[in-house]
Amino acid sequence: MNETSRVYLDNAASTPVDPAVIEAMMPFMVDHFGNPSSLHGSGRKASVAISKARSQVAKLINANPNEIYFTSGGTESNNLALVGYAKMVKRHRPDCNKILISEIEHESILETVSFLEKDLKFNINFIRTTSDGFIDLNSFGNLLSPETCLVSVMLVNNEIGTIQPVQSMINIIKKRQYKTIFHSDGVQALGKIPIDVRQMKLDMLSISSHKINGPKGIGALYIRKGISVEPILYGGGQEMSMRSGTENVYSIVGFGKACEIWKNRLQEANLNIKKLQDYTINRIINEIPESKINGSLQNRVVNNVNFSFKGINGEDLLVKLDEFGIEVSTGSACSSNKKKKESHVLRSLGLPHDEIAGSIRLSLGYQNTKTEMDFAINVLKNVINEFRNLNWSESSQGSDIVTSVP
């Protein structure tokens, strides 16, 4: 590692675009720029490219291509799934007004259900979380009732990487023979765990391109055939009338290519990332005193490492690591611009305030190496040592809070 190199460990926030994805996208910016709704040759080329990408995306999750609707990303997919389904329920099943979500969902679910509660008068219930970061199935079973029209629980949590017992939840709904629809935010699961929407009997699944080495601003919602969802964007009727607006052709092509790549490398790549994850977790536990891993080590995706360090402020740590070229995150990237907002995920696990404030997330990617991890862990160790020494000397002068970077 030299002084100018950067170690990017924020792959749960976004990933570098794969060179093969860029190569696939380029012709649709330079040559085949036609509008896919146009009937001439350029338009038809763009339209054919979208169909190919739809099949590539469908393949990665074992869906039918006509069950894939392209959107602008995970946030829009979550909005379309929840608002689109809720609008349909209001019109056709007004007796079902209960929606269940977990306490550890992404903001794009939390803010959407808040809208549904305030403006469409739905009754929102939150499923409790266990201290190791999973949905409490007893809490779910107690909350689920015939009035529940929709359950939305993420497949993988973005902050602590825990893989949620979505399959068990779907089985409970089926066993009770309720007409409840199950949506899952699969943004952090795509490319990390095998997803088979058919086998799982998922009704809707949100996915996003930029978490799997594809371009930003593009994603998709899987809607199982037979499930009625109303659009939330109106216009020219693109995306089978589900999402109007001229398609983002080159990004759709890039997303398709990224899905094809990850379909082929999921198993092998994730074995390598898992080795790096184990190595990192073991070194931190063994070499940094008073460090605590957040979330279970079992049923955790291979790229997530989330630790709390006693006496340390996570934001100060992030800034200092950045000075050394190491890029990490505290909580989720999307909420990190809301200054001083405490992680609702770690709070839901019951962590005390100081452990929440002292947490950072390292999220590994396909491109990371052992050399990079060694560099990052060594710097992390030294910085934490320095902070603790400073904290110690400050507290001996009457202060117990780290407020400045040494």
Ligand X SMILES: Cc1ncc(COP(=O)(O)O)c(C=O)c1O
Characterize 41-77 residue by residue with b for buried, 16 or more Cβ atoms within 10 angstroms of its Cβ, and e for exposed. eebebbbebbebbbbbbbebbebeeebbbbbbbbbbb
Is position 125 an interface residue for ligand X (rule: CB under 6 A)?
no
**Nearest to ligand X by Cβ — which residue?**
74
Binding piece for ligand X, criterion CB under 6 A, among 47-55, 326-334, 337-345, 382-390: 326-334
**Dist. CA 304–CA 208, nearest whole Å:** 18
* Residues facing residue 151 across a β-bridge: 100, 182
Helices assigned H by DSSP within 34-155: 41-61, 74-92, 107-120, 137-143
* Least Cβ distance, residue 74 to ligand X (angstroms): 3
**Dist. CA 127–CA 107, nearest whole Å:** 16
334 catalytic? Reply is: yes
Characterize 173-183 residue by residue with b for buried, 16 or more Cβ atoms within 10 angstroms of its Cβ, and e for exposed. beeeebebbbb
Of the candidate residues 11, 56, 108, 148, the single one contacting ligand X (CB under 6 A)? 108
Of the candidate residues 34, 36, 73, 84, the single one contacting ligand X (CB under 6 A)? 73
* Least Cβ distance, residue 367 to ligand X (angstroms): 19
Is position 306 an interface residue for ligand X (rule: CB under 6 A)?
no
* The two structure tokens encoding residue 180: 């409840």
Is position 361 an interface residue for ligand X (rule: CB under 6 A)?
no
Minimum CB distance to ligand X smaller for 189 or for 326: 189
Count of residues touching ligand X (by CB under 6 A): 15
Is position 334 an interface residue for ligand X (rule: CB under 6 A)?
yes
Of the candidate residues 158, 248, 277, 304, the single one contacting ligand X (CB under 6 A)? 158
Of 217, 387, 367, nearest to 289 (Cα)?
387
Tell which positions 201-220 bind ligand X, by CB under 6 A. Answer: 208, 219
Minimum CB distance to ligand X smaller for 154 or for 380: 154
Pairing of strands 304-309, 291-293: antiparallel
Of the candidate residues 102, 112, 180, 188, the single one contacting ligand X (CB under 6 A)? 188
* Least Cβ distance, residue 162 to ligand X (angstroms): 12
* Least Cβ distance, residue 333 to ligand X (angstroms): 6
Is position 154 an interface residue for ligand X (rule: CB under 6 A)?
yes
Are 64 and 58 contacting, i.e. CB atoms less than 8 angstroms apart? Answer: yes
* Least Cβ distance, residue 158 to ligand X (angstroms): 3
Binding piece for ligand X, criterion CB under 6 A, among 51-59, 181-189, 260-268, 285-293: 181-189
67 DSSP assignment = G
Are 189 and 165 contacting, i.e. CB atoms less than 8 angstroms apart? Answer: no
Contacts of 233 by beta carbon, 8 Å cutoff, 6+ apart: 243, 244, 245
Minimum CB distance to ligand X smaller for 108 or for 343: 108
* Least Cβ distance, residue 155 to ligand X (angstroms): 9
Of the candidate residues 11, 15, 56, 75, the single one contacting ligand X (CB under 6 A)? 75
Task: Report the run of H or E that residue 181 belongs to, with start and end.
Answer: strand 181-185
- Residue ranges that bind ligand X, judged by CB under 6 A: 73-75, 106, 108, 154, 158, 185, 187-188, 208, 219, 332-334
Which residues are part of the catalytic machinery? 334
